[in-house]
Structure 1
Amino acid sequence: MFNSKLWPGHLLGGLAGAVATLAFSPFDYWPLMMASVAALFVLLTKAPSPRAAAIRSLFYGLGLYGTGASWVYVSIHQFGDAPVVLAGFLTGLFVLALSLAFFVPVGYLYSRLSRAQAHWRKVLIFSGLWVFGEWLRSWLLTGFPWLISGYTLLDTPFSGLAPVTGVYGLTLLVALTGSLVGALCVSSRKQGRSLLGVAIGVALFAAGGFALKGFEWTVSDTEEPLSFSAVQGNISQDLKWEPGHLDKTVQKYWALSENQWQKDLVFWPENAIPTFYQNVPRLMEQMETQASQTDTALILGMPWYEGQDDNRSIYYNSLVGLGEAEGHYFKQKLVPFGEFVPFEGLIRGIISFFDLPMSSFSAGTPEQMGLSIQGKPVAAYICYEVVYPDFAAREAIGKDILLTVSNDTWFGTSIGPEQHFQMVRMRSLETGRYQLRVTNDGMTALIDPFGRILSSIPRYQAGVLEGEIPGMTGSTPFMDFGSWPVLILALGFVLFGRVRRSDSAPGTYSS
């Protein structure tokens, strides 16, 4: 690791990772993702050993997460009251842990498996491992599927792949294209000709996405669209959980909704009412009466107290349905440290960040009944849940519309909310459904089945988004099969890349 001749390559790995952040929202320079992958492929291919390749992958992860997930610092420092130095240290530790877990294995395995293989085989091995590395992020250590490279192709001609393959199919296209370009950069003319077959395959894959763009996998149901009002309160996070501010919060949402009760749906964001449902029975009764008298479905976010279990209080982050909306939904995918604290017996009380309001939630069960509007079930997601592609697709089966709530004030004015919104839009594209999203401070939006924004409220201002949301029936191939076809294909690439060694394979390099 301390070989001075290898350090330029390691540092270039970090730079390549940092550049990748510019491919995601809010920047959206999507070709940079492929360029970043190409650079990493070259650096790993030239690494003189698997150990050196692992270090370069580590630096790539540090560059990507250090820039792309820098908003973690805002949550820790601004809202967790951690001093600057401590917040920086914890953010660095977070970035290091992610890089070690998700990037180091990819670099090490690529170097081990591709050694002395022809370049076209290297492309297949790298691409397969890259897809598995990103998929690993969706479940390992509860999952952190952020900055998945396939999201960068959301607004490109190739996005038609998403309803078929999900975001990991787009990841595969990014990996194949980037590594192919990288292989051409380090190949001789004779070796480059051997890449022709891979290039044709990549071109056909991309052409498939282009051909399917705009294809309607789902159809509008025969019922009238739901009229809606999505209310964005823009309540400061510093005030949201102050006990004395509860009445003002309720009054603000009530005032914004005053002229909206003629709509089929009035929709309030995550924890719009920052106290337990059980604590305010009179308020809930009043809201139930208002919604029922106007034939309105009112859906709002608030904590839910379930009782005691083994001397432990059971709380849920929930969505509650009133009036023409029935049932409640308990969040299943919780945010580490924000909604539950791993090893809380050891770290509770060390700093305020580990004692944030409502950081002792329990996860809801997959078997819960969920929410319905006018007797029809809807797919509901609370904040972080919508970043899990396969989970979101399963929840959408048999549901006509998607409803998402969030409270991105934890991100401050960072790029985090823009990245989150990009993932939200991908869920509509993958499932072929309209999605209504309401947040505390933006972005509240109506999204169509192709992931396009039809209407929205800007960030950092209170307001009401009005419109109609049609229900959609049918399913996309991704809803039917999930990510498994792409994962099987990725595994096939890795195995096929190792079938036999090429006599004309290039040797190793160093840089």
Structure 2
Amino acid sequence: MARTNGAGYGPPMNSASALDFRTARSSWTLLVPLLRAMVTDLGGWRRRALAFAAGGASVLAMAPFFVWPVLWLTLPILVWLIDAAAVPADDADMAPKTGRFARWFAHPAWCAAEIGWWFAFGYFFVGLVWIGEAFFVDISIYTLLLPVTIAGLPALLALFWGAAAGIAALPKASTTTRVLLLAATLSTAEYVRGHIFTGFPWNVLGYALTWPLPLAQSAAYVGIYGLTIAAILIFGLPLVIAAAAPEGRKGWPVRLAALAVALLPLAAIFALGQWRLATPVAEPVAGVRVRIVQPSIPQHEKWLPQYQERIFEEHMALSETDPKGEKNGLAGITHVIWPEAAMPFLPLEYPVVLERIGRMLPPEAKLIAGALRADYDGTGPARQRIAHFNSVMVFSNGGGLAGLYDKIHLVPGGEYIPLRGLLDAVCLGRLARIRGGGFEAGKEPRELMKLPGFPAIGPLVCYEAIFPAAVVQGPERPGVLVNLTNDGWFGNSTGPRQHFHQARIRAVEEGVPLLRSANNGISAAFDPYGRILGTLGMNVKGTLDVALPAAIAPPPYARHGDFPFAAGLGLLVLALLWRRA
């Protein structure tokens, strides 16, 4: 029996009856049907290899490349592979007849899920390969975790996309309808990935529609998950529609429709963004001028005891140095910002450190710094440390502590070890006792830091800036987001650049400025529209002085959260029901 497209529709997919390749070569209008035939005719390891390669190529749509047109090719390939893999279970030639498990593994949903997993494995493997840079800071300690993280994390994250592909293959449907199904299931999978088990919403597919900046303005209306639905439809539908066009002139209306689906939504989103960006930069907050410090401390020196004093002195010296390199104190500066864990010790336990900070700051100035702190089980010399926190501390003139925030979203494997008790039980306790893995999470909801003469601060430590909606919790809205991070672990890779871009989108979503201090880059200041007011590049030691722009009125996403995403899913369901009827 000839093999179909997996949904019971469309042309047979064996090479003898798929397409006349000679005819296809003679007419460019058949290039897309030819491509579809070539993709769907693959089997076995070739099909998996293509899925992996297409997923890996899709990373080009993310920061720092932003070659999002690649998705016009890779997403249709995913759809065609899902259709080809979804072999009907009652196909006499294809469904195995020996054993319940063999038949189960031949089910269309399982076959499609496998393709979705391979595509996602390529996407996350290539997109997250920069994580391996962190282990080479001290490979003797992190040897055991390197292969687990480089391959294991992408394999785990790929399960979400695999499940989405499997569910999308369950109903019998045309290939065009399959794109609508995938838009619903894959965007839901991305949402779940961003929330379950503390979440890891890195390189959510919607980021493909956030560059250039006019495109990113739609995040203020629908958020990054709403943009994920839009990205799947805009990039997934055009080639799928074009592949169904009849030959010759009769197919031109269909081809023009495919072109319209590709370009008109993008043009509308871009025009909306241009209109929004026509708003001038907001007036700065009166009486506030911020100095962002980027010390660019080498990561292999950061935590060595012999460098602690030198690192502290470098931060102090830079704080009194303007962007031109002139050491003029803090004249005109009201707030200084240091990066995450700027002081590689527990500053609250060193009165001399607090005294030095207090002497540096003018009477009304404040230092916002990343630092570590500990809780104890009592007082006196016999007390024991029972918890460590990765914190944001605010110091005032005199060295007093004027504000404190403990990081809530800890990095799995870096700041805490998941299933630590299980690791001890199976004699892998060493993994739970290496550097990192020793922090406690702060208490939710995230509380704003309120300082006299300064807008309420929404503090974000490291990758907390990648969590949409979670950057603001509770009824009060911040006037500024302050992101302290240390991306020095990841060298000059794509990781810090992806992190930088995702933090930028939080400013757009919430309609508030964002100030970012990174140990070795990228430090920056953004206005509420995501426009860059100033930046310090990778591996640059220096400072950035900026006036703080005022927040704007809350955009729709700041008011309603992910409701627009839920509404988009509802519209997709209605469209699918209408097509079925």
Q: Normalising by the residue count of structure 2, what TM-score does the alignment of the two structures yield?
A: 0.78
Give the deviation of 1:5 after TM superposition.
2.7
In structure 2, give the amino acid aligned to 1:213. Answer: G
Distance 1:85 1:192, change over 3 A: farther
Unmatched 5+ stretches in structure 1: 503-511
Q: Are positions 1:142 and 2:198 aligned together?
A: yes
Per-residue CA deviation, residues 171-195 of structure 1 (Å, 9 max, x unaligned), is 1221001221242244243999789
State the match for 1:252 in structure 2.
314
Give the deviation of 1:335 after TM superposition.
0.6
Which secondary structure does the structure 1 equivalent of 2:388 belong to?
strand
2:452 pairs, out of 360, 374, 378, with 374
1:157-168 aligned within 5 A: 157-168=214-225
State the match for 1:316 in structure 2.
389
Could you list the runs of 4 or more consecutive aligned residues of structure 1 that deviate by over 6 angstroms after TM superposition? 83-86, 190-204, 216-219
Identity across the alignment (%): 27
Aligned partners of 2:390 and 2:406 also within 8 Å: yes
Distance 1:410 1:15, change over 3 A: same
1:53-452 aligned within 5 A: 53-79=112-138, 81=140, 87-100=146-159, 102-113=160-171, 115=172, 117-156=173-212, 157-189=214-246, 205-214=265-274, 215=276, 220=282, 223-224=285-286, 226-258=288-320, 259-262=328-331, 263-291=333-361, 293-308=362-377, 313-323=386-396, 326-347=402-423, 350=428, 354-367=432-445, 369-375=447-453, 376-394=455-473, 398-452=477-531
Per-residue CA deviation, residues 393-436 of structure 1 (Å, 9 max, x unaligned), is 44795222221110001212221111111101111111222211
In structure 1, give the amino acid aligned to 2:227. Answer: L
Distance 1:141 1:79, change over 3 A: farther
Distance 1:80 1:406, change over 3 A: farther
Q: Are positions 1:30 and 2:99 aligned together?
A: no
Q: Are positions 1:10 and 2:48 aligned together?
A: yes
Q: Normalising by the residue count of structure 1, what TM-score does the alignment of the two structures yield?
A: 0.88
Question: Following the alignment from structure 2 to structure 1, what is the Cα–Cα distance between the partners of residues 576 and 340?
Answer: 47
Question: Following the alignment from structure 2 to structure 1, what is the Cα–Cα distance between the partners of residues 116 and 445?
Answer: 40
Which secondary structure does the structure 2 equivalent of 1:245 belong to?
helix
Aligned partners of 1:39 and 1:182 also within 8 Å: no
Quick check: 357-366 or 79-88, which moved more? 79-88
In structure 2, give the amino acid aligned to 1:472. Answer: A
Distance 1:194 1:82, change over 3 A: farther
Unmatched 5+ stretches in structure 2: 1-40, 88-107, 321-327, 379-383
In structure 2, give the amino acid aligned to 1:316. Answer: F
Aligned partners of 1:338 and 1:356 also within 8 Å: no
Distance 1:201 1:71, change over 3 A: closer
Distance 1:145 1:83, change over 3 A: closer
Which secondary structure does the structure 2 equivalent of 1:306 belong to?
strand
Quick check: 190-199 or 35-44, which moved more? 190-199
Question: Following the alignment from structure 1 to structure 2, what is the Cα–Cα distance between the partners of residues 219 and 150?
Answer: 26
Question: Following the alignment from structure 2 to structure 1, what is the Cα–Cα distance between the partners of residues 329 and 539?
Answer: 21
Q: Aligned pair count?
A: 495
Give the number of the structure whose alpha-carbon radius of gyration is greater: 2
In structure 2, give the amino acid aligned to 1:125. Answer: L
Aligned partners of 1:300 and 1:320 also within 8 Å: yes
Q: Are positions 1:470 and 2:470 aligned together?
A: no
Which secondary structure does the structure 2 equivalent of 1:339 belong to?
coil
Which secondary structure does the structure 1 equivalent of 2:482 belong to?
strand
Quick check: 62-71 or 201-210, which moved more? 201-210
Aligned partners of 2:446 and 2:474 also within 8 Å: no
RMSD (Å) for aligned C-alpha atoms: 3.1
In structure 2, give the amino acid aligned to 1:107. Answer: A
Question: Following the alignment from structure 1 to structure 2, what is the Cα–Cα distance between the partners of residues 191 and 132?
Answer: 34
Question: Following the alignment from structure 1 to structure 2, what is the Cα–Cα distance between the partners of residues 83 and 300?
Answer: 28
Distance 1:362 1:86, change over 3 A: closer
Which secondary structure does the structure 1 equivalent of 2:394 belong to?
strand
Quick check: 274-283 or 161-170, which moved more? 274-283
In structure 2, give the amino acid aligned to 1:439. Answer: A
Quick check: 211-220 or 396-405, which moved more? 211-220
Structure with larger RCO (C-alpha < 8 A, sep 6+): 1
State the match for 2:110 in structure 1.
51
Question: Following the alignment from structure 1 to structure 2, what is the Cα–Cα distance between the partners of residues 306 and 367?
Answer: 20
Distance 1:223 1:159, change over 3 A: closer
Which secondary structure does the structure 2 equivalent of 1:318 belong to?
strand
Give the deviation of 1:288 after TM superposition.
3.0
Question: Following the alignment from structure 2 to structure 1, what is the Cα–Cα distance between the partners of residues 226 and 420?
Answer: 37
